[in-house]
Structure 1
Amino acid sequence: MKMLVGNEFTDASDGGVLNVVNPATGQVIDTVPAATREDVKRAVDTAAEGQKAWEAMTLRERTKRLKRFAELVMERRLELGEMLAKESGKPYMAEAVWEADSVAYVIEGSCEVAKHFYGKTMPFGTEPGYDHDIQFTIHEPLGVIACIIPFNFPPAIWSFKVGAALAAGNAVVVKAPSYNPMTILKLHEMLVEAGVPAAVVQCLTGSGSKVGNWLTEDGRIASVNFTGSTQTGIQIARNAAEHLTPYQFELGGNDPFILFGDGDLALAVKEAADQCRNNRQCCTGSKRFIIHNSLKEEFIRRLIEEYLSKEVQGDPMDPRVTMGPMISERAAQEVEKQVRLTVSQGARIVYGGKRNGAFFEPTILDGVTPDMDIARDMEVFGPVWPVIGFDTAEEAIEIANNSNYGLGGGLFSRDIGTCMKAAKALKTGHVAINGSGNFRAAELPFGGGKRMSGNSRESLSAVMEEVTQSKSIVLRYVLEP
């Protein structure tokens, strides 16, 4: 496949390519260009120029084209799902096609919020000297927004970043994920087909460390919107600081899942097991299972017997398969390394623990203590359930908050007082009561409660504030007698 640079889909300026590998088979599916610094500059040049004409279009015309794109996504959802399943390892219908459906929903929603993002009119006569003026605000696009997409939910996260930005009149330069860029490239082909000018939807492929750095170092970028690791976010922030470029980050997490002694055990076990989606490669997935000691043994037993023992790993295109591979063998090796470290610190593997290429078994670790790396700041991005016991509510909250991360969390109790006190005490951006924190409702503001988990509130209800700037206008003396 080719990337979108300039007004056409093209190869890298030096002809370099990256292989896209099916993690389930290890086979090369296709190649994509390895963008050069020259390619990045050309993409920003094109977007900066194209954005002017796109902004000049009526909002009505921009959203008409974006809604046509959403229709194309639904028409080709099976094609998109198959591509995503093969390059990402997601089970085909249950996860990959579902993700294509979510793109259409978010794009349509982005059009609606753009149409209803109103300015303000200030009240008359509140400040001496301005009694005869009309004061109001309007919203304007930022310009060219760099959108850097992660590997775990590429189309879904892409839609949140790109939909509202385009509806508001911005141009975007997208950096597709290195492991699985093909579905993102296909979405850009469909945008152009729907009538969105190629100039305003540039899409780069290649090394994240190279292309991402070149892109975020460019002073013409009006804003950087990044989802990914905290370490990469810190590097992007350094680059952005050179030009005081604003940024919106959604970064790492080590989310707590708290089951109090009076909680619904069956519900908690179901919610814990329901996180097999995408092999638990999810920033907001529960990663520390803080379970009351009176329920801990039963929680582990039921999680294994009722759910994890029934998971079927294999080729994601096989309808019998419920868990595919991780994104790469390298990613599975990292999880294996983290599990070994935790065992060396005193934890026990009570289920799973083995790796086969890019596949890693669902794994439960018991005997995890609050001082272990996995219980604090080591985010495991894979199918691992570390279980930490506790006796008092205060102890559970202390364990949950003892991390540099603060993305989301979930808690289970039949006492609404306990729920609300715990929800207020958790230092996270969102909390689910009687549910895991592993959710992202499209309408609800989503982002970290601590800096290491990011600063964005990317959602349909908040995103327009991140892709526009307010301009104040005063009509002086127009009401003067």
Structure 2
Amino acid sequence: MRKHLYIKGSWVEAAEYRPLYSPYNGMNIAEVAYANEAEVEQAIAAAELASPLMARMPAHERASILGKVAALISERADECAHLIALEAAKPLKAARAEVDRTAMTYQLAAEEARRIHGETIPLDAAPGGEGRIAYTIRQPLGIVAAITPFNFPMNLVAHKVGPALAAGNTVVLKPAGQTPLSSLLLAELFEEAGLPAGALNVVTGSGSIIGDILVQDARVKAVSFTGSPEVGIGIRRKAGLKKVTLELGSNSALIVDQGVQLDKMISRAVTGAFSNSGQVCISLQRIYVHELLFNEFVEKFVACTEALHVGDPLDPYTDVSALIARKDVERSLEWIAEAKRLGAEVATGGVSQDNVVHPTVLLNVDASAQISCSEAFAPIVLINRVSSMEAAIQAVNDSRYGLQAGIYTNDIGTALAAAERLEVGGVMINDIPTFRVDHMPYGGVKDSGIGREGVKYATEEFTELKLICFKKE
């Protein structure tokens, strides 16, 4: 199966193709185009040519196209889920959940396209403003570069492509090297839905080659990137005055206060830690449990973890499967070994089989260990004992990241204090930090990035606010 570039509404044969292998069993899945500079330039030129048409397109037409894509994804849900499981080694039941969310994200984008609006400004509120009428409008930026990761290869694409098109922009999409197939399928669906040629272009290949061109080309007006802090910081430096939205990951934490009913939340916490093998930006990686509950929490958490089914992502019963690449397996095992050298105890897991790291629970992890202070992106979680909520909040904040955090507590004062003091973009009270629905504002502080996703908020990011002022006489 050979997969071409999608440029200006056509499948374009590339000068080079490279094999794509399954992360789970190494099977050759496809031969995928590996774009060169000239081919990326071709995609940008196509997006530029389509920009005036998209900018003039009525909101109801943009909404209709996005709504049709949502319906097509739902109609072909099994095919989409199978493709995600194949290219990303995401367990099939998690892939199905992602497909459902993706359809909803495009439906939300369709609705948002109909309500992009400005506001009237009462200029006579200030001296000198008399006799004037003013209002604002939001206009599309032009070309949006969407650079997306492997872990949610359909829904994180939707969070960039959907709002960008809803606002009347055109898009050049660079999907992750391991997961291009779902993005190429998306191009088919948008074509079927009636999107004008050039409004969406998909270029596959090297992140450094394609990304550098997109970030530095003056015709590209905004860059939306999800990935590592190192790459994101580089994009910010190169982007100049472009609008930039960066979602750069985390080592998300959960606090468990004394008095919490553990049976109501243990399975939820285990899911947050090990869903998609921990390859989730808001995966639960650090848990700080009050000392009065620590032993009971560990016992129940470990038991629930050991009940997870590990194996083939195409098996409908699988909970945890392969990591995306062998190097991530090796890094995970190195981090576990380092934590052990620093005094941590492995309560369960700590081993791998081929590219599968078994769900791992570490206890009493030193704060300097990589597994504590860096992003694991693997099925590894640490559980540490704390003597007070003050100590727990300090431990959560002792991080270069700040995407989301959670706290389970029965005390409203503790909940309010945590909501105000936790240095993150979102605080989940009586839930895990892995909670997300697709219309909420989503983004972080510190090295977790800048800007906010969530359909409404991303749509605003992809527009320019313009003031229009009339003098009556």
- Measure the CA separation in 2 of the matches of 1:164 and 1:280: 27
Residue 177 (structure 1) shift: 0.7
Cα displacement string for residues 373-426 of structure 1 (whole angstroms, at most 9, x for unaligned residues): 3323x1111111111211011111111101110000011111111111112110
Cα displacement string for residues 246-282 of structure 1 (whole angstroms, at most 9, x for unaligned residues): 2001112011111112222223422221122111101
Q: What residue identity is the alignment partner of 1:118?
A: H
- Measure the CA separation in 2 of the matches of 1:281 and 1:160: 18
Q: Which residue of 1 aligns with 2:359?
A: 362
Q: Secondary structure at the match of 1:178?
A: coil
Find 1:313's aligned residue among 297, 306, 310: 310
Q: Which moved more, 1:378-387 or 1:289-298?
A: 289-298
Find 2:296's aligned residue among 295, 298, 306: 298
- Measure the CA separation in 1 of the matches of 2:342 and 2:288: 18
Contact 1:150 1:176 (8 Å CA) reproduced: yes
Q: Which residue of 2 aligns with 1:189?
A: 188
Evaluate the alpha carbon distance shift between residue 367 and residue 129 of structure 1 in structure 2; reply closer, same or farther with a 3 A threshold: closer
Contact 1:370 1:388 (8 Å CA) reproduced: no
Contact 1:254 1:287 (8 Å CA) reproduced: yes
Q: Which residue of 1 aligns with 2:268?
A: 271
Cα displacement string for residues 423-476 of structure 1 (whole angstroms, at most 9, x for unaligned residues): 21100101111111101111211110x230011211133222201011111122
Q: Secondary structure at the match of 2:18?
A: strand
Alignment of 1:267-416 (within 5 A): 267-275=264-272, 276-305=274-303, 307-376=304-373, 378-416=374-412
- Measure the CA separation in 1 of the matches of 2:362 and 2:407: 20
Contact 2:62 2:113 (8 Å CA) reproduced: no
- Measure the CA separation in 2 of the matches of 1:196 and 1:232: 31
- Measure the CA separation in 2 of the matches of 1:232 and 1:198: 30
- Measure the CA separation in 1 of the matches of 2:196 and 2:317: 41
Alignment of 1:18-97 (within 5 A): 18-92=18-92, 94-97=93-96
Alignment of 1:79-478 (within 5 A): 79-92=79-92, 94-123=93-122, 125-241=124-240, 244-275=241-272, 276-305=274-303, 307-376=304-373, 378-448=374-444, 450-477=445-472
Q: What residue identity is the alignment partner of 2:338?
A: L
Contact 2:349 2:359 (8 Å CA) reproduced: yes
Contact 1:264 1:413 (8 Å CA) reproduced: no
Residue 6 (structure 1) shift: 3.5
Residue 297 (structure 1) shift: 2.0
Q: What residue identity is the alignment partner of 2:321?
A: G
Cα displacement string for residues 99-123 of structure 1 (whole angstroms, at most 9, x for unaligned residues): 1111111111112122112211122
Residue 321 (structure 1) shift: 1.8
Residue 31 (structure 1) shift: 1.4
- Measure the CA separation in 1 of the matches of 2:459 and 2:225: 16
Cα displacement string for residues 143-167 of structure 1 (whole angstroms, at most 9, x for unaligned residues): 1000001011111111111111101
Q: Secondary structure at the match of 2:452?
A: coil
Q: Secondary structure at the match of 2:246?
A: strand
Q: Secondary structure at the match of 2:24?
A: coil
Residue 225 (structure 1) shift: 0.3
Q: What residue identity is the alignment partner of 2:39?
A: D
Say how many residue pairs are matched.
Answer: 470
Q: Secondary structure at the match of 2:362?
A: strand
- Measure the CA separation in 2 of the matches of 1:327 and 1:313: 15
Q: Secondary structure at the match of 1:470?
A: strand
- Measure the CA separation in 1 of the matches of 2:456 and 2:166: 14
- Measure the CA separation in 2 of the matches of 1:262 and 1:30: 53
Residue 303 (structure 1) shift: 1.2
Q: Which moved more, 1:256-265 or 1:358-367?
A: 256-265
Q: Which moved more, 1:128-137 or 1:52-61?
A: 128-137
- Measure the CA separation in 2 of the matches of 1:246 and 1:112: 23
Q: Which moved more, 1:363-372 or 1:174-183?
A: 363-372
- Measure the CA separation in 2 of the matches of 1:219 and 1:337: 42
Evaluate the alpha carbon distance shift between residue 322 and residue 112 of structure 1 in structure 2; reply closer, same or farther with a 3 A threshold: same
Contact 1:446 1:458 (8 Å CA) reproduced: yes
- Measure the CA separation in 1 of the matches of 2:383 and 2:422: 18
Residue 319 (structure 1) shift: 2.1
Q: Which runs of 5+ in 2 are unaligned?
A: none
Q: What residue identity is the alignment partner of 2:165?
A: L
Contact 2:143 2:221 (8 Å CA) reproduced: yes
Residue 127 (structure 1) shift: 3.3
Contact 1:330 1:358 (8 Å CA) reproduced: no
Q: Secondary structure at the match of 2:60?
A: helix
Residue 124 (structure 1) shift: 5.5
Cα displacement string for residues 336-355 of structure 1 (whole angstroms, at most 9, x for unaligned residues): 12212222222121211111
Q: What residue identity is the alignment partner of 1:44?
A: I
Contact 1:329 1:359 (8 Å CA) reproduced: no
Residue 79 (structure 1) shift: 0.6
**What percent of counterpart residues are identical?**
33
Contact 1:264 1:412 (8 Å CA) reproduced: no
Which TM-score applies when normalising by structure 2? 0.96
Residue 240 (structure 1) shift: 0.5
- Measure the CA separation in 2 of the matches of 1:277 and 1:139: 38
Residue 130 (structure 1) shift: 3.5
Q: Which moved more, 1:341-350 or 1:402-411?
A: 341-350
Q: Which residue of 1 aligns with 2:5?
A: 3
Q: What residue identity is the alignment partner of 1:96?
A: A
Residue 325 (structure 1) shift: 1.3
Contact 1:54 1:170 (8 Å CA) reproduced: yes
CA-atom RMSD in angstroms:
1.4
Q: Secondary structure at the match of 1:29?
A: strand
Contact 2:9 2:191 (8 Å CA) reproduced: no
Q: What residue identity is the alignment partner of 1:30?
A: A
Q: What residue identity is the alignment partner of 1:197?
A: P
Contact 1:293 1:391 (8 Å CA) reproduced: yes
